[in-house]
Amino acid sequence: MKYSVGLRTIELLLGDITQQNTDAIVNAANKRLSVGSGVDGAIHKHGGPKILEDTRSRHPMGCPPGDAVVSDSGELPCRILIHAVGPIWHKGSSHEAELLERAYLRSLEIASEHECDSIAFPAISCGAYAFPNDQAADIALKTVKTWLEKHDRPETIRFVLFTESVYAEFAKSAEKMFTKTNSVRSK
C-alpha cells in the first residue's frame, strides 16, 4: 500500500529489508551495536563484516535506546545504514512510546543530514523487544507522517514488514490515519 503526505509517499511492503534499494536502510539494533538476531542478524549477514567493523570504530560506546547512528552499508544495496535502537517493552512503564518515537525521529534526522531521498524502516521493537505491535505501528506511522508534514526529505518512507501479522497491524494503523483519498493500492 502507498499513502501520500503532500508530494511525499509512505509505503507498506511485506518483504525483506536487506533487498531494498532505498538510499538508507534502518536496522533495529541493540544498545551495544553488537550483532543480534532478527533484522539485525539479517543485515549483518547480507551486508558482510565491514558493517560491524565500521560501526565499532565509529561508535565504540554503542547507542542508547531512543537514538540512532550511521555506519557504512557494506554489501547492502543502500548508500547508508542507520542503526536505530528501540526500547525493550516493560509493560509501558519505562517511557517506551517516547523512546520508540525518538528512534524513528533520529533515523529521519540522520537520513536527512545525508540527503537521502528514500529510507526503509523495519518494525522497530516489534520482535525480540516485544513492543505491542498495534501500538508500535501507530507510533511509527504517526511519527513519519508528522515528519513529512514538516520536512522535504526523504521523499519516500518505506516500512518493510517481515510477517503477515506485523504488516496487518501497520495496514490497520494506516487505514485509521490516512483518508481514503490519499491511499493508493500499489501494484
What is the amino acid identity at position 187?
A: K
C-alpha cell at 104: 524513528
Distance of CA 94 to the CA centre of its chain: 21
Name residue, grid cell 509512505: 10
| Active-site hit among 23, 40, 67, 138 | 40
Q: How far is the CB of 55 from ligand AR6 (least distance, A)?
A: 12
Backbone phi, psi, residue 21, to 5°: -100, 25
66 in contact with ligand AR6 (CB under 6 A): no
Segment lying near ligand AR6 (by CB under 6 A), choices 15-23, 50-58, 73-81, 93-101? 15-23
* H or E element at residue 14: strand 8-14
> Is 67 an active-site residue?
no
Segment lying near ligand AR6 (by CB under 6 A), choices 10-18, 53-61, 75-83, 169-177? 10-18
In sequence order, what are the residues at sequence separation of 6 or more whose Cβ sits closer than 8 angstroms to the Cβ of residue 102?
Answer: 66, 67
C-alpha cell at 61: 560506546
Angle at 9 between CA 22 and CA 101, to 5 degrees: 80
Segment lying near ligand AR6 (by CB under 6 A), choices 56-64, 109-117, 119-127, 141-149? 119-127
Binding ligand AR6 (rule: CB under 6 A), the pick from 123, 137, 141, 174 is 123
Peptide bond into 87 cis (omega under 30): no
* Closer residue to ligand AR6, CB minimum distance, 152 or 170: 170
127 in contact with ligand AR6 (CB under 6 A): yes
Q: Which of positions 20-49 make contact with ligand AR6 (CB under 6 A)?
A: 28-30, 36-40, 42
The residue ranges that bind ligand AR6 (CB under 6 A) are 16-18, 28-30, 36-40, 42, 86, 122-129, 160, 162-163, 166
